[in-house]
Amino acid sequence: MDSIIGHKKIIYFLQKSIDNNKLSHAYLFYGAAHLGKTAIAKNFLFKILCEQKNGCKKCVHCQQLEKNIHPDVYFINKKEDKKNIVIEQIRILQEKLIKHSFLGSYKIIIINQAETLSLEAANCLLKSLEEPNPKTIFILIAENIRSLPKTIISRSQILKFLPVATKEIANSLQKQFNLKSEQAFELAKISINKPGLAIAFLQNQNLFNEYKKQIQEFINFPQKNLNEKFQFIEKILPIKNEFLENIKILQNILSQLDLIFRDLILIKNSLNTFVVHSFLENQLKKLAQKYNENQLIQILKEIKKSKEYLFINANPKLVFENLILNF
């Protein structure tokens, strides 16, 4: 797990579980997107299945894992045309788990976006967690656990993934990708403590440019008139979208707005070194003149309220419309 950025305690715990042969039958990795949950899950299963127990990349297990063809590893993903992971997917999985291991190893199941399990699918999965087959390990990966049944949570080893320190991300980027200090720290800051996002920006310049363009748009947003703001909402939260899709879109927007207004407070207090969006510092300084510090603090409170409304499945369009009245 040497290439993983951050999460040393989690990595140490998982390694000790392997070393001491005390593996749980189910793990729940949860935390925001791009923190490294999936990367650590994959490294974890490499070391469980590896003949040398160290992810040697040379044994038959490692070679098959590298090619994504290991017969005893199963991935459950939400289908693009579905709102949830459905019960049929879990039933098909259970039929496979009854059969003997192809390579005499553990059977490992990784369930991505576990929070999207339908109630029926979750209840079906619960049967496998309550009466696990020998040498079977489930790894559930989720951004949050609010929608997961408590029965699923209680039968899993819970590992919460937290944001990684900016300095740790920057130092790792410098070593792994041979970056200059300035570039590494810019990527670390703009990725808002998410290592996966920093690497994605580094490896995909178009994605990075699109993100910068989006931030520029949000910096301009408070200066639009009310009619323009409502037109913007119609554009980014179209009626044709699924309800949950618009919730996710708005969650990302609120996170970006939160960072922008925090940047404005930092600028107000001459703490420009800590500004996340330093590449747009001149525009941020101009926007900061529009507000006093108390107004900025109040807007941040309203953004926090909006995030809470989304967690109880409030209408995203109404939430955003209500928020912009505070701008």
72, 108 contact by CB (below 8 A): yes
CA quadruple 158, 121, 248, 3: dihedral sign: positive
Whether pLDDT at 243 is above 80:
no
Least confident range from 38-47, 187-196, 232-241: namely 232-241
Mean pLDDT calculated for residue range 171-197: 90
| Burial per residue of 68-106, b for 16 or more beta-carbon CB atoms within 10 angstroms, e otherwise | eebebbbebebeeeeebbbbebbeebeeebeeeeeeebb
pLDDT at position 325, please? 79
Tens digits of residue pLDDT in 131-170: 888 889 999 999 988 889 999 999 999 999 999 999 999 9
Lowest mean pLDDT among 4-13, 58-67, 243-252: 243-252
Q: Which has the closest alpha carbon to 170: 6, 41, 51?
A: 6
Structure confidence by residue, pLDDT tens digits, 90-106 = 999 999 988 887 777 89
User: How open is the CA angle 246-261-267, to the nearest 5 degrees?
Assistant: 155
Q: Pairing relation of β-strands 136-142 and 157-160? A: unpaired
Q: What is the DSSP letter of 326?
A: T
Predicted confidence band of residue 276 (pLDDT cuts 50, 70, 90): confident
Tokens 């005893």 identify what position?
72
Q: Distance (Å, rounded) from C-alpha 238 to C-alpha 190?
A: 27
3-state SS, residue 25: coil
pLDDT(227) > 50 = yes
Q: Residues 6 or more apart from 325 whose CB is under 8 A from it?
A: none
Res 26: pLDDT: 95
Which residues are CB-neighbours of 34 under 8 A, at least 6 positions away? 191, 194, 195, 196, 197, 200
Q: Take residue 219 and report the two structure tokens written for it.
A: 């910096």
Answering whether pTM is above 0.85, one says no
Structure tokens at 57: 């990349």
Quick check: helix, strand or coil at residue 76? strand
Distance of CA 227 to the CA centre of its chain: 33
Q: How far apart are CA 286 and CA 265, in angstroms?
A: 13
For residue 1, pLDDT over 70 is answered with no
